[in-house]
């Protein structure tokens, strides 16, 4: 509360001075084309074309499709056919044209995937137990924390942007219709990811968020500005991971638990869009704008009409096996 009091002392004069300011959004009320596309290396290009609409345009809110749109896709300056599959490093230009709503275009480069791999894995067992059952040969349940050091080998001579996704799985996957109460059975969850252990996930948090204490909403989209052209090790912590096993026969495949790390190299437009969404939903600037203490955040777009986002991505994955660790515990 003390911080908020000081904040109002600073901002109130600005509010009174700005009361007579004329707000001109500089946005035409005429509808324009909106382009949205997330281009993935190795997959066909998909483009969604729609039109903008105003708040009081009831018809536009219900139906903003564009029936007469013609979409052209260029790769490295050459017009592509429907069979084109984008590759890493391709520069893609998307052009949409409509007799009624004009044209819109955007250009994006498909980023190159960056290698990622684990260099250290340190588990910490929190609790572990087995039980006697005459029908079962394998029994056990365990709760544990995990520390994983994940290295990124950043490429030189370019600004790179990334998104990290983490998932846990058992291999082979459970078949369709599998019932947990049926033996043999094993279950695994990677637990809760602790954002606070890796500062790179908070590089988007500004001075306002830090001072006001509103920096808890981290996300796993980041840039290489702190390690451009070098290797960087992400220090990842997972709390309260869980494993359970019950089987009437000995089957080592029940220990086949894995953590899959997917490092997505994303375009600058993808990164800027993610940053805008975070600032709008979680950032202090977005909050101040809601109360009139700052200019409202304009929606991010890299399309010529100012509507929509065209972005690109490529993937690099690393799979960390927990089999040896789990076998050693039971």
Same structural domain, 282 and 247? no
Check if the beta carbon of residue 118 is closer than 8 Å to that of residue 318. Answer: yes
Report the pLDDT value the prediction gives residue 320, as an integer from 0 to 100. Answer: 97
Q: Are residues 69 and 184 in the same domain?
A: no
| 180 and 248 housed in the same domain | yes
In a domain, 130, yes or no: yes
Domain identity same for 275 and 196: no
Of the candidates 163, 177, 64, which has an alpha carbon nearest to the alpha carbon of residue 114?
163
Alpha-carbon gap, residue 88 to 276, rounded angstroms = 25
Query: Are 162 and 259 found together in one domain?
Result: yes
User: Total domain count for the chain?
Assistant: 2
307 and 218 inside one domain: no
Residue 156 resides in a domain: yes
pLDDT of residue 155: 84
Are 48 and 38 within 8 A, CB to CB?
no
Residues 165 and 88 in one domain: no
Domain assignment of residue 51, yes or no: yes
Inside any domain, residue 5: no
In a domain, 151, yes or no: yes
Q: What is the largest CA-CA distance in the chain?
A: 82
97 and 230 share one domain: no
Same domain, 217 and 251: yes
- Same domain as 166, residue 96: no
Give this prediction's pTM.
0.81
150 and 75 co-located in one domain:
no
Structural domain including 252 reads: 116-266+315-329
**Can you give the pLDDT at residue 282?**
72
3-state secondary structure the chain: CHHHHHHHHHHHHHHHHHHHCCCCCCCCCCCCEEEEEEEECCCCCCCEEEECCCCCCHHHHHCCECCCCEEEEEECCEECCCCCCCCCCCEEEEEEEECCCEEEEEEEECCCCCCEEEEEEEEEEEEEECCCCCCCCEEEEEEEEEEEEEEEECCCCCCCEEEEEEEEEECCCCCCCCCCCCCCEEEEECCEECHHHCHHHHCCCCHHHHHHCCCCCCCCEEECCCCCCCEEEEEEEEEEEEEEEEECCCCHHHHCEEEEEEEEEECHHHHHHHHHHHHHHCCHHHHHHHCCCCCCCCCCCCCCCCCEEEEEEEEEEEEEECHHHHHHHC
**Does any domain span residue 59?**
yes
Please report the pLDDT score of residue 142 as a whole number: 97
Same domain, 205 and 320: yes
7 and 280 in contact (C-beta within 8 Å)? no
pLDDT tens, N- to C-terminus, the chain (330 residues): 333 333 332 333 333 333 334 445 555 678 999 999 999 999 999 999 999 987 666 665 667 889 999 999 999 999 999 999 999 999 999 999 999 999 999 999 999 999 999 999 999 999 999 999 999 999 999 999 999 999 999 987 789 999 999 999 997 655 555 555 556 889 999 999 998 889 898 876 643 333 334 444 457 899 999 999 999 999 999 999 999 999 999 999 999 999 999 999 999 999 999 998 888 877 554 444 444 444 555 789 999 999 999 999 999 999 999 999 999 999
pLDDT of residue 202: 83
C-alpha 121/C-alpha 321 separation (Å) is 10
pLDDT for the residue 196: 84
Query: Dihedral of CA 18/19/22/25: which sign?
Result: positive
């Amino acid at each position: 509360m003390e911080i908020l009091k000081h904040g109002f002392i600073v901002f109130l004069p600005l509010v009174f001075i700005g009361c007579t300011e004329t707000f001109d959004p500089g946005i035409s009320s005429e509808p324009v084309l909106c382009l949205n596309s997330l281009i993935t290396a190795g997959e066909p290009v998909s483009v969604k074309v729609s039109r903008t609409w105003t708040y009081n345009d009831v018809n536009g809110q219900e139906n903003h499709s564009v029936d007469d749109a013609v979409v052209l896709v260029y790769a490295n300056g050459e017009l592509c056919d429907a069979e084109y599959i984008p590759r890493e490093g391709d520069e893609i230009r998307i052009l949409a044209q409509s007799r009624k709503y004009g044209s819109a275009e955007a250009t994006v480069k498909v980023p190159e995937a960056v290698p990622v791999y684990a260099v250290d894995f340190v588990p910490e067992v929190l609790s572990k137990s087995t039980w006697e059952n005459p029908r079962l040969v394998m029994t056990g349940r365990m709760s544990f924390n995990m520390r994983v050091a994940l290295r990124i080998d950043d490429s030189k001579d370019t600004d790179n942007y990334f998104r990290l996704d983490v998932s846990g799985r058992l291999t082979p996957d459970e078949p369709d219709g599998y019932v947990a109460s049926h033996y043999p059975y094993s279950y695994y969850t990677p637990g809760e990811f602790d954002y606070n252990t890796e500062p790179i996930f908070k590089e988007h948090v500004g001075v306002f968020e830090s001072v006001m204490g509103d920096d808890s909403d981290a996300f796993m989209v980041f840039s290489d500005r702190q390690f451009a052209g070098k290797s960087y090790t992400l220090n990842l912590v997972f709390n309260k991971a869980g494993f359970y096993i019950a089987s009437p026969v000995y089957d080592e495949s029940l220990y086949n638990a894995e953590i899959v790390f997917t490092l997505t190299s994303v375009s600058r437009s993808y990164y800027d869009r993610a940053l805008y969404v975070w600032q709008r939903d979680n950032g202090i600037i977005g909050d101040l704008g809601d109360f009139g203490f700052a200019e409202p955040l304009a929606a991010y777009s890299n399309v010529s009409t100012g509507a929509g986002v065209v972005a690109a991505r490529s993937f690099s994955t690393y799979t960390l096996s927990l089999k040896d660790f789990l076998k050693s515990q039971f």
